[in-house]
């Protein structure tokens, strides 16, 4: 088992601070495991809402939950949306001392009742799959290939890891999406998801993808929103600076887990990965995700202009602007885009993340930085 101290600490603090804590993240990312860790440390009652007996126990939820003390854990709460209204009633009671931890596999945008019904009563924590800080920086190649879902990363072999991911994809399409009340054909969504893998790291173009599938751009937009709301995909929004140049205004789309991307691209091992046409895009998405998990900025963007200038990642800290450029190259060079961004965006510093071993300065405001040394960046929480 891999320790996840950042999330354990965050959960403990949130539970003590707020009457309801929501731990959200993709299916099979370790939410239930964390909940059981908390149960070892304090009095808790656990309900698995995928379990028929537990569903029956909650047929009269206000009566059952209202009699409980300590910590109450409700796993996969999106399956019974009516519980959000019950929780609002319970936590508003003057004598309420119970704390509720709800686990869900969809974002607040999908579970609209959580953000609307429980406004002011709930604290959200997003749990990601394993990241480099948790598995150890020497294991970055395995993490890149297999992705960070615990059962995929910890599998005994590449074959077992690939088999688990294929099963996950099938279950997600055939069971998880319908359980959210979303009526999309698993075949159509699989086709869209596979096509999206080939657009990984590119600017979103709904019309182009829609023409390829024979569907409208509105349908493509709804499919993308489903994958985003279930933590499969990240839409990195553009930063629109007040410049005279025409700037890209559509988001860039990345798979949040490189292992799922590789499954949909039929990449089975490191040899296939390094020889694949999408290796650079895969590396870019993987590196951006690792930097975001370490730095954890409040907001993150990319920047691009129609004349070709582009920066992969842009974030802010204490009124200063920082940037990250990702290169799958053993000796990355300073580009015209980097020089342009330094002045046009008034960057404090720019880091070029690459798969090498040595960090070095390429310019007074530009550092070339190995991915496995992101723990040395002057940001982050770990």
Residues 169 and 257 grouped into a single domain: yes
Q: What is the mean pLDDT of residues 154-175?
A: 96
pLDDT exceeds 80 at position 245: no
C-beta contacts of 112-119 below 8 A and 24+ residues apart = 113/81, 113/84, 113/85, 114/22, 114/77, 114/84, 117/84, 117/85, 117/87, 117/88, 118/20, 118/84, 118/87, 118/88
Q: What is the mean pLDDT of residues 98-117?
A: 81
**Domain end: 72, 107, 126, which one?**
126
Q: What is the mean pLDDT of residues 74-99?
A: 90
Residues 104 and 230 grouped into a single domain: no
Residue 270 belongs to some domain of the structure: yes
Residue 381 belongs to some domain of the structure: no
Residue 361 belongs to some domain of the structure: yes
Residues 345 and 363 grouped into a single domain: yes
Residues 108 and 9 grouped into a single domain: yes
Distance of alpha carbon 298 from alpha carbon 294, whole angstroms? 12
Residues 233 and 366 grouped into a single domain: yes
Task: Give 272-302 pLDDT, tens digit per residue.
Answer: 999 999 999 999 999 999 999 999 998 999 9
What CATH number corresponds to the domain at position 165? 1.10.10.10
Residues 144 and 112 grouped into a single domain: no
Residues 179 and 193 grouped into a single domain: yes
pLDDT exceeds 60 at position 208: yes
**Domain end: 93, 126, 159, which one?**
126
Report the pLDDT value the prediction gives residue 379, as an integer from 0 to 100: 63
Confidence of residue 40 (pLDDT cuts 50, 70, 90): confident
Residue 359 belongs to some domain of the structure: yes
Confidence of residue 14 (pLDDT cuts 50, 70, 90): very high
Q: Which residues is 2 bridged to in the sheet?
A: none
**Domain end: 126, 147, 172, which one?**
126
Q: Total domain count for the chain?
A: 2
Residues 78 and 168 grouped into a single domain: no
Report the pLDDT value the prediction gives residue 269, as an integer from 0 to 100: 94
What CATH number corresponds to the domain at position 84? 3.40.50.300
Q: Which residues is 238 bridged to in the sheet?
A: 302
Report the pLDDT value the prediction gives residue 182, as an integer from 0 to 100: 82
Measured CA angle at 272 (ends 335, 188), to 5 deg: 95
Residue 357's domain comprises 132-376
Residue 382 belongs to some domain of the structure: no
Question: Residues with Cβ < 8 Å from 184, sequence gap 6 or more?
Answer: 177, 223, 226
Q: With contact defined as beta carbons under 8 Å apart, do 252 and 201 qualify?
A: yes
Residues 112 and 140 grouped into a single domain: no
Residue 245 belongs to some domain of the structure: yes
| Of the listed ranges 43-47, 205-209, 247-251, the one predicted with least confidence | 247-251
The pTM (predicted TM-score) of the whole model is: 0.92
Residues 86 and 137 grouped into a single domain: no
Confidence of residue 243 (pLDDT cuts 50, 70, 90): low
Residues 144 and 243 grouped into a single domain: yes
Residues 118 and 147 grouped into a single domain: no
């Amino acid at each position: 088992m891999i320790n996840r101290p950042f999330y354990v600490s965050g959960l403990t603090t949130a539970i003590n601070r707020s009457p309801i804590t929501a731990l959200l993240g993709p299916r099979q990312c370790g939410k239930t495991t964390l909940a059981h860790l908390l149960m070892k440390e304090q009095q808790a009652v656990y309900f698995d809402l995928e379990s028929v007996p537990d569903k029956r126990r909650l047929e009269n939820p206000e009566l059952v939950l209202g009699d409980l003390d300590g910590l109450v854990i409700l796993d996969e709460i999106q399956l019974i949306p009516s519980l959000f209204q019950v929780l609002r009633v319970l936590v508003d009671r003057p004598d309420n001392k119970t704390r509720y931890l709800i686990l869900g596999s969809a974002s607040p945008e999908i579970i609209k009742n959580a953000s609307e019904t429980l406004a002011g009563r709930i604290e959200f924590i997003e749990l990601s799959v394993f990241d480099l800080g948790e598995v150890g920086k020497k294991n970055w190649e395995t993490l890149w290939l297999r992705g960070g879902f615990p059962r995929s990363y910890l599998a005994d072999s590449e074959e077992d890891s690939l088999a688990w991911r294929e099963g996950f994809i099938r279950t997600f399409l055939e069971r998880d999406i319908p359980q959210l009340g979303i009526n999309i054909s698993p075949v159509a969504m699989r086709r869209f998801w596979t096509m999206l893998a080939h657009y990984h790291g590119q600017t979103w173009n709904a019309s182009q993808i829609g023409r390829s599938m024979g569907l409208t751009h509105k349908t493509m937009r709804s499919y993308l929103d489903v994958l985003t709301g279930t933590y499969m995909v990240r839409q990195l929004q553009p930063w629109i600076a007040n410049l005279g140049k025409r700037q890209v205004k559509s988001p860039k789309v990345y798979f949040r887990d490189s292992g799922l991307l590789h499954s949909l691209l039929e990449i089975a091992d490191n040899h296939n990965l390094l020889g694949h046409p999408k290796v650079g895009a895969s590396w870019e998405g993987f590196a951006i995700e690792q930097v975001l998990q370490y730095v954890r900025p409040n907001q993150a963007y990319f920047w691009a202009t129609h004349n070709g200038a582009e920066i992969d990642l842009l974030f802010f800290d204490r009124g200063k602007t920082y940037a990250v450029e990702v290169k799958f190259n053993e000796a990355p060079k300073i580009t015209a885009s980097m020089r342009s961004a330094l002045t046009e965006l008034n960057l404090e510093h720019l880091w070029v993340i690459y798969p090498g071993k040595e960090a070095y300065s390429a310019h007074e405001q530009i550092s070339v930085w190995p991915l496995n040394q992101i723990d040395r960046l002057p940001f982050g929480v770990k």
